[in-house]
Amino acid sequence: MTAAHGSRQAGDLEAEILVGAVQSGEGVMGVWRDLATVLGGGLVRLEPLDEHHENGLYEVAGDERIWRWMPHNVAESRETFHLWFEDARAKSEAGTEAAFVTLDAGTGEPLGSSRYLALRPEHRGLEIGWTWLTPLRWKTGANIEAKLLMLEHAFETLRCLRVEFKTDARNQRSRSAMEALPAQFEGVFRKHMLVRDGERRDSAYYSITDDEWPEVKINLRRRLKKIQDIQEAEAR
């Protein structure tokens, strides 16, 4: 392959997955086409965060276990939740992040939220974070399917080469979930963030790359089917 031909292929791919540009803290960056779009599954449906989701999300955000390892407890009051919600929507509208609401696929009931952030479209990489789910839906397959939908969109539509995750290094529940995807542990960023009124946080980083994605996808589907089989057996 000639250098010129390779350059044209890269340019064609960039034109296919990117559109326009946005000013970020690090300068001008590209913007993905279809970054925030409806992602539908059998258990959950992810929709771009919109103002009509706020009340329903607030109603399921009150359990303190959700926010123990987050940078701060956004559900501490109605006001703090509103500020978090509006900030998420503003960043989505600016194209620097893409926040989703996680809904029950059958009832449309809000269950939680997640988002794409740390966008690097010029390098075909992003982070999945700010993920939370009502404890009533923990261990039901909802989070597994939400991750499957977001990863599938990232790797197969946005053509990502890398998707990363980070969590408080002490959050063993989150770290176990990342390892079960499986995502690869990459190390700990020491004193990475100041959270919860000045508390120092070490962040554990994990990632999945495009060549690992096919096996991760198979594993997520296998885990999801196992849970669904158990649920169907219990319903008989």
Yes or no: say if 27 and 38 are a contact pair by the CB < 8 Å rule: no
Yes or no: say if 109 and 57 are a contact pair by the CB < 8 Å rule: no
Nearest-Å Rg of the Cα atoms of the chain is 18
- Angle at alpha carbon of residue 180, lines to 234 and 108, rounded to 5°: 55
For domain 17-235, the CATH class is: alpha beta
The residue with tokens 């982070």 is 127
Predicted structure pTM score = 0.88
Q: DSSP alpha helices (H): ranges in the chain? A: 3-17, 54-59, 64-67, 78-94, 142-152, 172-179, 213-235
Q: Two tokens at 135?
A: 């404890």
* 182 prior amide bond cis, ω within 30: yes
* Segments making up each domain of the chain, as ranges: 17-235
Q: pLDDT by residue for the chain (236 residues), tens digit each?
A: 444 444 445 555 554 556 555 544 444 456 787 899 999 999 999 999 999 999 999 999 999 999 999 998 998 999 999 999 999 999 999 999 999 999 999 999 999 999 999 999 999 999 999 999 999 999 999 999 999 999 999 999 999 999 999 999 999 999 999 999 999 999 999 999 999 888 999 999 999 999 999 999 999 999 999 998 988 888 88
Cβ of 232: how many Cβ atoms within 10 Å?
9
* Separation between Cα atoms, residue 147 and residue 144, nearest integer Å: 5
